[in-house]
Structure 1
Amino acid sequence: MHIAFLTPEYPHSKIKHSGGLGTSIKNLVVALVAKGVKVTIFVYGQSKSEIFEENGIVFHFISDKKYRLGKWFFYRKHLQNYINSVVKKEKIDVIEAPDWTGVTAFMNFTVPLVIRFHGSDTYFCHIEKRKQKFKNRLFETLAVRKAKGFIAPTKYAGEVSAKLFGLHKEQIKTIHYGLDLTQFNNEHPEHFEKGLVLYIGTIIRKKGVFELPEIFNKVRNQFPKAQLVLIGGDSGDVATGSKSTWELVKQQFHEKDLDHVSYLGKIPYTEVQEYIKKANVCVFPTYAETLGMVTIESMAMQKPVVNSNIGWAQELMEHGKSGFLVHPSQHEVYAQHIVALVNDKALYENMGNEALRFVANRFNIQNIVDQNIQFYKNVL
């Protein structure tokens, strides 16, 4: 079997940006190749075109193109024609694409198309109760209608997407993102910095970052030595038009707390893992997600997580056992769970152990990859 992935991002040194979407694709691709499946990656919107093979994966970087008018249509047709030519030459069986921006709208492929609901603009606008641009909804709807199969990383994301795009929920197969657990070793989970609270993710409103100042203030009222470290790229703010969400969040912290807050921006993932090892608690007070890769990555490194309790999060852990689930707006409750983990080392260790056990049972890529292969076979 030969599977192709069409994506705007992928974790690679030649690609400037990649987030959770790219990471989830890479985890799956590496596992597919290990199972003997041929994989081709089409990465669009790149600064230059390039074709190369690496670790058994064939990459096609497709350069961005300028058009005087109608780029939304003509660039898609350019991608379609290029991909179809490679499909024919390399005998590709299935193409998978994300729902985001409806990139496959107006495209007609010569092989079946699978859409994975990583999180569309339609989905996030619905979750955040934001008004959506008409063209975004149109493109994503047209893209979904072109697909023969659908996958969602959580049951919740699949059911919401089905409702928004007029599908029957039975049409969408839930297949969680997977982790190669060998890449998340924490040989000494008993070693950590007491009171170090870690947030990893884009600094953006939908991730609940505006809740952190009040939560952290309540934590420091009970444990004054607490430290908050934030890691992730800054972004513009849709609500205010500000170019920097971090500058807005920074203003919300109590003055006495700011000396205990460090924003590191984007750093190499090897360094991110070192901070996870040092953390006492990892926090993800997000309002909009389909799964949340960094949540399960932190759990895989035996870290207690205080996570949002909305929809998708119910599938990531068992509240009170392998993590804590709290609504981001409940600052007092959120802080109490953090403080409990700071003050009780036995609770910290037990929850970390249960977190790893939960992730190993539900998100191990060795099991996830077989589910994906069977799905592709069913589509064919």
Structure 2
Amino acid sequence: MHIAFLTPEYPHERVAHAAGIGTSIKNLVVALAQKKITVSVFVYGQQEDAVFAEDGITIHLIKNRKYKFMGWYWHRKHLQNYLNTQILTEKIDAFEAPDWTGITAFMRLKAPLVIRFHGSDTYFCHLEKRHQKAKNFWFEKLAVQKAKAFIAPTTYAGAVSKRLFGINNKVIQTIHYGLALDQFQNKNPEVFEHGLILYIGTIIRKKGVFELPEILKKVRIQHPEAQLVLIGGDSADIQTGSPSTWQLLEQQFDVADLKKVTYLNKIPYQHVQEYIKKAQLCVFPSFAETLGMVTIESMALQKPVVNTTIGWAQELITDGESGFLVHPQDHSVYANRIIALLKDTNLCLTMGKNARKRVEDVFDIEKIAQQNIVFYESITGKS
């Protein structure tokens, strides 16, 4: 089989942007290539046109183009024409695209289209209970209607997307994101900085960052030495119009607590792993995810995690065993779970060990890649 992926992001030095979607795609395509599946990745919205091979994968960079009129349409048609040329010349058997912005809305591709529900604007607006532009929903709905099949990283994300887009006659296959576990090794889980609480993710309202000041205040009543480190890019705040969510968040901490807060912004990924290993525990009080890559990455590095109770998280963590699940707005309970871990090193180590086992059982990229291969065989009729 030859499977192709269309994406706005991919972890590579020549690519303008990479985040959770890009990481999940790279983990998968590298594993597929190792299993002798021919893979091409098409990254749009780039600063250059280029084609090169790496890790057994052909990567196409597609330069962003400006249009004077109806750019949203002509941009998609330009992509369509380029992709169709490659489908015919490279004999691509199926194309996968993300749901975000409905990038395939006006495309007629010459290969079966699969949409993976990484998280559409429709999905996130629903979870955040905020208004969505009609145009955005239209694009995403059109894209969904053109797809032959669907994948979602959690059953929860698939079920919500199915309801929002009115998908009645097709099954949404759940296939989790996966990790290359050899890249997530913590040989000394008993070595960590006591009291260090780590948050990793964009500084944005939907990820629950505005719950952290009240949670930290309650934690520090019993553990004054506790400190919070935040890693991730700043973003504008939709609700207030502020260009910086971090500036808003900074003002929410008590003066004394703020002295125990460190914001590192974005840092190189290898340093992120170092901070995960250094932390005593990780917190992800998010209101809106489809899965949450950094959660399973932290679990793979044997860190106890305090996550949210909302749908998708229940598929990642067994509450009280491989992590804790607490609603982000239940500040007292959230703080108490953190306090329980800060007080008990053995609990941290046991929960961290269980978290690693959970990732090995459910999110190992070797198993995930094979699930994807079986799915694509069913779509293409090839093996």
Supply the distance in 2 between the matched residues of 1:148 and 1:169 (Cα, whole angstroms): 11
Corresponding residue for residue 267 of structure 2: 267
2:243 maps to 1:239: no
Structure 1 residue 16: Cα displacement: 2.6
Corresponding residue for residue 330 of structure 1: 330
Corresponding residue for residue 314 of structure 1: 314
Supply the distance in 2 between the matched residues of 1:371 and 1:53 (Cα, whole angstroms): 25
Supply the distance in 2 between the matched residues of 1:88 and 1:263 (Cα, whole angstroms): 49
Corresponding residue for residue 162 of structure 1: 162
Helix, strand or coil: the match of 2:251? helix
Are the equivalent residues in 2 in contact too, given 1:308–1:328 (CA < 8 A)? yes
Corresponding residue for residue 182 of structure 1: 182
Helix, strand or coil: the match of 1:236? coil
Give the direction of change, closer, same or farther, for the CA distance of 1:217–1:295 in structure 2 (3 Å limit).
Answer: same
Are the equivalent residues in 2 in contact too, given 1:7–1:42 (CA < 8 A)? yes
Helix, strand or coil: the match of 2:118? coil
Structure 1 residue 169: Cα displacement: 8.3
Corresponding residue for residue 191 of structure 1: 191
Supply the distance in 1 between the matched residues of 2:339 and 2:277 (Cα, whole angstroms): 18
Helix, strand or coil: the match of 2:262? strand
Are the equivalent residues in 2 in contact too, given 1:162–1:169 (CA < 8 A)? no
Are the equivalent residues in 1 in contact too, given 2:16–2:47 (CA < 8 A)? no
Supply the distance in 2 between the matched residues of 1:334 and 1:192 (Cα, whole angstroms): 21
- Counterpart of 2:74, as a letter, is F
2:358 maps to 1:358: yes
- How do residues 99-248 of structure 1 correspond to structure 2 at under 5 angstroms? 99-168=99-168, 171-248=171-248
Are the equivalent residues in 1 in contact too, given 2:16–2:46 (CA < 8 A)? no
Helix, strand or coil: the match of 2:299? helix
Task: Give deviations 1:129-188, integer Å, cap 9, x for gaps.
Answer: 111000000000000011001000000000000000111386100000011111100000
RMSD: 0.8
Structure 1 residue 239: Cα displacement: 0.1
TM-score normalised by L of structure 1 = 0.99
Further displaced range: 168-177 or 76-85? 168-177
Supply the distance in 2 between the matched residues of 1:350 and 1:293 (Cα, whole angstroms): 22
Structure 1 residue 63: Cα displacement: 0.5
- Counterpart of 1:183, as a letter, is Q
Structure 1 residue 205: Cα displacement: 0.3
Same amino acid, percent of matched pairs: 64
- How do residues 79-90 of structure 1 correspond to structure 2 at under 5 angstroms? 79-90=79-90
Supply the distance in 2 between the matched residues of 1:61 and 1:145 (Cα, whole angstroms): 27
Unaligned runs of 5+ in 1: none
Supply the distance in 1 between the matched residues of 2:227 and 2:73 (Cα, whole angstroms): 49
Unaligned runs of 5+ in 2: none
- Counterpart of 2:260, as a letter, is H
Task: Give deviations 1:299-318, integer Å, cap 9, x for gaps.
Answer: 00000000011011100010
- Counterpart of 1:345, as a letter, is T
Task: Give deviations 1:223-269, integer Å, cap 9, x for gaps.
Answer: 00111000000000000000000000000000001111000000001
Supply the distance in 2 between the matched residues of 1:277 and 1:69 (Cα, whole angstroms): 50
Are the equivalent residues in 2 in contact too, given 1:158–1:169 (CA < 8 A)? no
Are the equivalent residues in 2 in contact too, given 1:80–1:109 (CA < 8 A)? yes
Supply the distance in 2 between the matched residues of 1:333 and 1:143 (Cα, whole angstroms): 41
Helix, strand or coil: the match of 1:97? strand
Give the number of aligned pairs: 380
Supply the distance in 2 between the matched residues of 1:299 and 1:121 (Cα, whole angstroms): 28
TM-score normalised by L of structure 2 = 0.98
Supply the distance in 1 between the matched residues of 2:251 and 2:109 (Cα, whole angstroms): 49
Helix, strand or coil: the match of 1:252? coil
Supply the distance in 2 between the matched residues of 1:226 and 1:251 (Cα, whole angstroms): 19
Task: Give deviations 1:86-143, integer Å, cap 9, x for gaps.
Answer: 1111111110000000000000001100000000000000011111000000000000
Helix, strand or coil: the match of 1:319? coil
Task: Give deviations 1:51-77, integer Å, cap 9, x for gaps.
Answer: 111121111100111111001100100
Supply the distance in 1 between the matched residues of 2:68 and 2:284 (Cα, whole angstroms): 42
- Counterpart of 1:73, as a letter, is Y
